[in-house]
Structure 1
Amino acid sequence: MTKHISKIAAMAIAVCVGFSSCTKKFDTINTNPDKASSASSEWLATNILTSVTSKDISQGTNFRQPFTLGKYIGWTELVSDYQYNRMIRVDFGRLLVLRDVEPMIKNAGNENLKKTYEGFGHFIRAWQFFQTTMQVGDIPYTEAVQGSAGLIKAKYDTQKEVFRGILNELDQADELLSGAVNFSGDFIYQGDVDKWRRLANSFQLYVLINLYKKTDDTELDVINKFKTVAARPLMRDFNDNFAVTYTASAGYCYPWSSTPAQLNSFLSYPVLSSYLLDPMKATADRRLFYMAEPSPAQIAAGQTASDYSAYLGIDPADELGVIVTNKNAGKFCAVNKRYEEMYNAEPVGLLNYWDIQFILAEAAVRGWISGADAQTFYANGIKSHMQFLKKYAPASYAHGMAMDDNYINDFPATIALTGTADNQIKQIITQKYIAGFFQNSDYTAWYENRRTGYPVFTLNTSTNLNTPASVFPLRWMYPQKELDYNAGNVTKALQDQFNGNDDPSNAMWLLK
């Protein structure tokens, strides 16, 4: 019936072509006087933000995928591609929401709001293009999302050009938001432009630390740029996290929870890795007790849930049969039950205050900034994550090892930065990795391992599904839709970067 009506409408339009009176009458008849003819800026902002945040943080088994690739967990249901390093074809779907940015700005009620929405739009564009280029390398940027103007086969910009564009957009966001007014349609910061400005600047530090191999590039001028941005307003504590909070409604509950409002049938499959648990066991880090359930075998052997030795991690690189055998024997740890039983276990951050503190610590170790030592930033990151857990996780889930303020304030000194610069960066990334458990769902931990080599993951050639099995993959493959409908441009991008091979083992410009 719908198709039949569409055909009739199409015929009517065809008949009217060239007759202005018919066109005017058709427009008049099909205009609802009781409905707005364009979407409000507020509604568009909400739609954009939903796409970038809550829709980007998947539910159920899809939620665990970034943490499987990042080796936080092993998956015991079946062989998991990401656990064993098989990379797939991605899509560029996250860029589609950018079509809403221009009308959001255009439809603003006054010039002050236009300035606000423009700054917000620059941040959103930078965020989406960054996430896309991090997956594959060169992508459409200058010609992206211009289908309405008739440009349906966008050329690919080099990854360097994309990063320059991202940095420029974040500079524009900072400038525009510095004098902007608060706005509607924002469920993250409730329209507080100061927090959005701090997020834009904090995110730019994350972008810049990923360019650490490009410090000799005079056009990018990474170190001086980092110093400039680090002096701007940044996130102040975990209340500034770019995070989604959850309620007891279907579709709005914590992504891993299983409650009457939202069921999760995959609770029995994840087992926690040694990369997550062992560093906390070695340093008497009580965050362990907030993240894990003790090993059933260790409890049966007489240990208590408050013993560090009651927690056994698996190596996700082991054969699935070995992992399942150990699990069946109780030699494993499940995720803490609070993630399952609480509809609001904790806000899930896409970029958090502690991430920025660890980035500043790394920059201090590398000599990019001065004025505060790396240990201060490092300690701030650790304490912030601990305070976050203390706030959102009831003590009843901490297995008798709840953290208090004295413990939190004293702990960083027990694992102070020491040794060579490389060892200190290893320590920083280790703490960043711990704090990233069930956070940073845009593959942040995997990117950090790809960038720095830390944490050191086992390369098991008998289970590694990458080709060749002797190396880890470094990227995803380009979208099938691009190969089908934009073949000329994607083929050129592949030739320019990888001698024509869409190979996950090839290093993109960022990593060279």
Structure 2
Amino acid sequence: MTLFGLTALMLSSCGEFEELNSNPDAAVRATAPMLATGLILNITEGTVSGQKGFLSPHFLSKSVIYTEFAEDLQYNYLGRTSFDGLPTLTNVEKMISFSPPDAYKNSYTALGKFVRAWKFFELTMRVGDIPYSDALKGEANVIAPKYDTQKQVFVGILNELDEADKLFAQGVKFDGDPVYGGDVTKWRKLVNTFELYVLLNLYKKTGEADLRVVDRFKEIVNTRPIFQSNADNFQLVYSDKAGQRYPFFKLGNPSVIYPMVSEVLIGKLKDLDDRRLFYYANPSPVQIAAGKSMSDYAAYKGTDPSMIYSDITKIFSTKDYSPLNSRYTELPNAEPVALMSFAQLKFMLAEATVRGWISGTPAATYYNDGIRAAMQFTANYTPDNALYHHNMKITDAYIATYLASDKVKLAGSNEKQIEQIVTQSYLSTYLQAPFHAFFENRRTGYPAFPINPASNSNTPSNKMPVRWLYPQKELDYNTENVKQAIASQYGGSDDFNQAMWILK
């Protein structure tokens, strides 16, 4: 056999081997839809953990208590945050480069800008100044990115969201979207609704001319598409399939026996005669055994989340407390988890009206619409089963009665109205929108969270912490830049109680 023939045989055999041993279901190369899916899931599924981790943000927001161990977030220890989620944003440029030209590229570019804005917003809300303009430039040999001020980061986020809206408006339906099916109109609604949320977090910075906080807010409300119903919610929908079940479903979940519902939540629901109580919690079995009805508000017992852990475990051992409603553990498709909802939007519009940013529609109208949307969301995703609503159904007639109640009506001073609005937002985000309630409490002080110096892990023990610490990796590998950021913001002290720029 000639050398040419031997070589040809070897190449042929090699080709046959690769063909026989390749996975026909595996992608040969990345595509724009594949990368889009990964980026969207990163900010949705990557944000909503499973089992105990699913509840963790709500320990900090004082709506749920955990009894297996003394949880850090339950006792206000925030620890260090992580920037490990940022490298996924390197896929943004790859997604855009792989996308088809023209209108398709507009859609994928818009998606990339939104995901960037979402991720950078999450990080700056935790620590303050972060790498932004220099971030993600490892391929350009920028291995120690400089930090941008929080103001510069917010300017960038707002600009990226403005650009995303314009690009989606010039885009077309795109592939790889597990949330909205590539519907660019729905994505525009999300982009603009999220921008309103970003702007509301800048309410102390309305004097910053380059941010144009109030003008931007008005422009979005008056000229751009925003959420119009619960159908627009940015949410994960669950089903009874492996990998797609509700995050706290009982299957393989040893954590189901440990949660208690907090008095912070239960007390407010009782005060307002709010039937969401019967959808959010189960009655205390001790109170039922004593003769109370499952439809009786008095059968539901919240627990003070600031109690020392040993006292909480004593209550847990008596069983005289309200656990989570059974639907959260018994139904694999219990309810969607929204990261941004129509109800939240309505409460944002109500607050902006009270603050004088927008006019034309009364704040009470937005407020009532928010409550109605939140209640309908809960009712519509709950089966008509007494185990899940305890014969206290939320109907349209009940909602009308609730809104007419003097306890609920939006009234009083502007500050009182803001308290009512934020409190209703809190009630609407039970087991929804991770960390939203904590950031709202930090921003407005509402609802007030109980603080017990005997159990609080924060120092001083009479205060809630307001920020996480910078990542250890930054201190180890980007030392000069992170130390400069700590010095310029916090006088060199990276601690949990230092107020970042948006809070001043």
Match of 2:425 among 425, 432, 438: 432
| Corresponding residue SS for 1:208 | helix
Q: Does residue 511 in structure 1 map to residue 500 in structure 2?
A: no
Q: Which residue of 2 aligns with 1:256?
A: 248
Q: Which residue of 2 aligns with 1:206?
A: 197
Mean alpha-carbon deviation: is it higher for 490-499 or for 221-230?
Answer: 221-230
For 1:252 and 1:321, the matched residues in 2 are separated by: 36
Q: Does residue 337 in structure 1 map to residue 326 in structure 2?
A: yes
For 1:367 and 1:481, the matched residues in 2 are separated by: 43
Question: 1:458: Cα distance to partner?
Answer: 1.3
Q: Which residue of 1 aligns with 2:391?
A: 400
For 2:378 and 2:455, the matched residues in 1 are separated by: 35
Question: 1:395: Cα distance to partner?
Answer: 2.1
Q: Does residue 195 in structure 1 map to residue 186 in structure 2?
A: yes
Q: Which residue of 1 aligns with 2:10?
A: none
Question: 1:131: Cα distance to partner?
Answer: 0.4
Q: Does residue 148 in structure 1 map to residue 139 in structure 2?
A: yes
Q: 2:166 corresponds to which letter in structure 1? A: E
Q: 1:223 corresponds to which letter in structure 2? A: V
For 1:239 and 1:46, the matched residues in 2 are separated by: 20
Q: Does residue 93 in structure 1 map to residue 72 in structure 2?
A: no
For 1:86 and 1:293, the matched residues in 2 are separated by: 29
Q: Which residue of 1 aligns with 2:173?
A: 182
| Corresponding residue SS for 2:298 | helix
For 1:168 and 1:158, the matched residues in 2 are separated by: 16
Instruction: Report the identity percentage.
Output: 46
Q: 1:126 corresponds to which letter in structure 2? A: A
Q: Does residue 238 in structure 1 map to residue 230 in structure 2?
A: yes
Q: 1:240 corresponds to which letter in structure 2? A: D
Q: Which residue of 2 aligns with 1:471?
A: 463
Q: Which residue of 2 aligns with 1:293?
A: 282
Match of 2:160 among 169, 193, 209: 169
Mean alpha-carbon deviation: is it higher for 321-330 or for 452-461?
Answer: 321-330
Q: Which residue of 1 aligns with 2:117?
A: 126
Question: 1:38: Cα distance to partner?
Answer: 4.2
Aligned counterparts, 1:98-109, within 5 A: 98-109=89-100
Q: 2:201 corresponds to which letter in structure 1? A: N
Q: Does residue 112 in structure 1 map to residue 133 in structure 2?
A: no
Question: 1:330: Cα distance to partner?
Answer: 2.8
- Superposed CA offset, 1:57-90 (max 9, x none): 1001111110001001111112111111111111
Q: Does residue 416 in structure 1 map to residue 406 in structure 2?
A: no
TM normalised by structure 2 equals: 0.93
For 1:390 and 1:290, the matched residues in 2 are separated by: 8
Q: Which residue of 2 aligns with 1:484?
A: 476
For 2:341 and 2:87, the matched residues in 1 are separated by: 25
For 1:288 and 1:275, the matched residues in 2 are separated by: 12
Q: Which residue of 2 aligns with 1:356?
A: 345
Question: 1:487: Cα distance to partner?
Answer: 0.7
Q: Which residue of 1 aligns with 2:255?
A: 266
Match of 1:284 among 273, 290, 300: 273
Structure 1 spans left out of the alignment, 5+ residues:
1-28
For 2:151 and 2:403, the matched residues in 1 are separated by: 37
Question: 1:216: Cα distance to partner?
Answer: 1.8
| Corresponding residue SS for 1:152 | coil
- Superposed CA offset, 1:436-472 (max 9, x none): 001002x110000000001111121111101121221
Question: 1:404: Cα distance to partner?
Answer: 1.6
Q: Which residue of 1 aligns with 2:7?
A: none
For 2:432 and 2:463, the matched residues in 1 are separated by: 27
Question: 1:473: Cα distance to partner?
Answer: 0.6
Question: 1:429: Cα distance to partner?
Answer: 0.8
Q: 1:437 corresponds to which letter in structure 2? A: Y
Q: Which residue of 2 aligns with 1:496?
A: 488
Question: 1:214: Cα distance to partner?
Answer: 0.8
Question: 1:329: Cα distance to partner?
Answer: 2.3
Count the aligned residue pairs: 480
Mean alpha-carbon deviation: is it higher for 333-342 or for 219-228?
Answer: 219-228
TM normalised by structure 1 equals: 0.91
| Corresponding residue SS for 1:302 | coil
Q: Which residue of 2 aligns with 1:322?
A: 311
Aligned counterparts, 1:2-17, within 5 A: none
Match of 2:440 among 448, 453, 459: 448
Q: 1:506 corresponds to which letter in structure 2? A: Q
Question: 1:37: Cα distance to partner?
Answer: 6.7
For 1:413 and 1:176, the matched residues in 2 are separated by: 43
For 2:85 and 2:503, the matched residues in 1 are separated by: 23
Q: 1:346 corresponds to which letter in structure 2? A: E
- Superposed CA offset, 1:334-354 (max 9, x none): 000000000000010111110
For 2:163 and 2:277, the matched residues in 1 are separated by: 41
Q: 1:313 corresponds to which letter in structure 2? A: G
Q: 1:509 corresponds to which letter in structure 2? A: W
Q: 2:412 corresponds to which letter in structure 1? A: G
Mean alpha-carbon deviation: is it higher for 196-205 or for 55-64?
Answer: 55-64
For 2:41 and 2:456, the matched residues in 1 are separated by: 35
Question: 1:413: Cα distance to partner?
Answer: 2.4
Q: 1:308 corresponds to which letter in structure 2? A: Y
For 2:422 and 2:87, the matched residues in 1 are separated by: 33
Q: Does residue 386 in structure 1 map to residue 399 in structure 2?
A: no
